Amino acid sequence: MPDPFTPGAPADSSREAQAPAAAQAGPEVHFTPQEAAPEAQDKERQKDSLQPLMELRGVSVFYGDFEAVRDTDLPIGQNRITAMIGPSGCGKSTILRALNRMNDLIPGARVSGTVTFHGQDIYAAGVDPIQVRRRIGMVFQKPNPFPKSIYDNIAYGLRINGLKGRLDDQVEQALTGAALWDEVKDKLKMSAFALSGGQQQRLCIARAIAVQPEVILMDEPCSALDPISTGKIEDLMRELAERYTIVIVTHNMQQAARVSHFTAFFTAEVDDRQVRYGRLVEFNDTDRLFTNPTDERTEAYVTGRFG
């Protein structure tokens, strides 16, 4: 049984025969001529072996009796950007929300299997979801700043962690980290809603990194934004990956190809009782998944034949 945590091995067991060959070959790096230099440097790092900060093993997510996503094995590499792609309804957002126990908020939601963080199962008895969420932050699809000032949006997370008094330095640090400081440094007391959509999303990113998480989960963070803001956030993601581990769900394949180190492809299947559910099909280096996918479903998706 191939170890699913070696890059290049597809998660789908029906491809077992191909796996050993792929596992034995050393990781290959594909350079496509159009790639600009900075991306090439990032991809270089894929030569290092994958150091998983978080691991999903056999994870299924249930809503009541309905098994929405089945049997997922997925490593999340430290200081890497892992993208989850696939058509609608294939469970990518569900899996993402399982990583910081946001599914707990849905009545009847249940997770089986293990989701480990630094080797510890975050769903173990005695684990406080609040602590999990302080270390694994989230940025949502539609920017959702609090109806407070820019300053107070950032300060909110800091105050939760017990910091009191003036937090100017930390606020500046967070805003700088989100590449927003220069644009807002003179208007920190303004309402967050005065910012444009792209700026609001960067504010949400700044709010998330202010509490110094180790992982940042992003649920289609650019889908509500225009192309220019999207580009800025993609650049920001690459910077953030140096300090944080990033997992991003995206509908936009090209974005995944541009930005991520590793990509997981999910799809929706129908079981013998006509019930639709989501499943992880393939996980690989982004380059390899896009240029040389092992599963034909992956190939169909990335070449645009469906989804």
Partner 1 sequence: MTTRTTQEEEAARPALTSKTGGVRAERLFSWWTLATGLLVLAVLALILITTTKQAWPVFQDMGLRFISSSTWDPNPASGNPVFGALAFIYGTAVSSLIALLIGVPISIGIALFLTELAPRRLRGSAVMVVDMLAAIPSVVFGLWGVLVLAPLLVPVYRWIHDVFAPVPGLKSIFGEPVGTGRSFMTAGIILAIMIIPIVTSISREVMSTVPQANKDAAFALGATQWEMITGAVFPHSFGGLVGAVMLGLGRAMGETIAVSLVIGGATNITPNVFAGGNSMAAVIVQQFGESTGTFTAALIGLGVVLFALTVVINVAARVVVRRAEIRVQGAAT
Partner 2 sequence: MTTTVPPAERAAAGPPSLRHSALAPRRRITNRVALAAITLALVVAVVPLAWVTISVLARGFEIMSWQFLTEDIPNSYRRHGPGMAPAIVGTFLITGMAALLAVPLGVFGAIYLNEYGKQKPLAQVIRTMADVMTGVPSIVMGLFIYTVVVVATGEQTGFAGSLALACLMLPIVIRSSEEILRLVPDELRQASLALGARQWRTILTVVVPAAISGIVSGALLAIARAAGETAPLVATIGIAFTVNPNLFSGQNTALPAQIFRNASQPFEGAQERAWGAALTLVVIVIVFTVLARVVVSRFAIKER
Provide the pairing of β-strand 245-249 with 262-270. Answer: unpaired
For 179, other C-beta atoms within 10 Å of its C-beta total: 17
Nearer to partner 2, 44 or 128 (CB): 128
Q: Decide which of partner 2, partner 1, none touches 105; Cβ closer than 5 to 8 Å per partner kind.
A: partner 2
Residues 6+ apart with CB under 8 A from 52: 5, 75, 76, 77, 78
Q: Figure out which of the listed residues 5, 62, 63, 140 binds partner 2, where binding follows CB under 8 A.
A: 140
147 binds partner 2 (CB under 8 A): yes
Query: Is the CB of residue 171 less than 8 Å from the CB of residue 210?
Result: yes
133 binds partner 2 (CB under 8 A): yes
100 binds partner 2 (CB under 8 A): yes
Q: How far is the CB of 120 from partner 1 (least distance, A)?
A: 6
Single out the segment in contact with partner 2 by CB under 8 A; choices: 50-58, 126-134, 166-174, 282-290. 126-134
Q: Decide which of partner 1, partner 2, none touches 252; Cβ closer than 5 to 8 Å per partner kind.
A: none
**Inter-axis angle of helices 150-160 and 168-177, to 10 degrees?**
110
Q: How far is the CB of 78 from partner 1 (least distance, A)?
A: 6
74 binds partner 2 (CB under 8 A): no
CA 172-83-179 angle, 5° bins: 15
Cα 265 from Cα 279, distance rounded (Å) = 9
Nearer to partner 1, 11 or 240 (CB): 240
Q: b/e for 196-233, b at 16 or more Cβ within 10 A?
A: eebbbbbbbbbbbbbbbbbbbbbbbbbebbeeebbebb
How many residues of this chain bind partner 2 (CB under 8 A)? Answer: 27
Widest Cα–Cα separation across the chain = 61
**Cα 279 from chain centroid?**
17
36 binds partner 2 (CB under 8 A): no
Per-residue x/- track, 155-184, partner 2 (CB under 8 A): -xx--xx-----------------------
Q: How far is the CB of 51 from partner 1 (least distance, A)?
A: 8
Residues 6+ apart with CB under 8 A from 130: none
* Interface residues toward partner 2, by CB under 8 A: 100, 102, 105, 130-134, 137-138, 140, 142, 144-148, 156-157, 160-161, 191, 193, 204, 207-208, 211
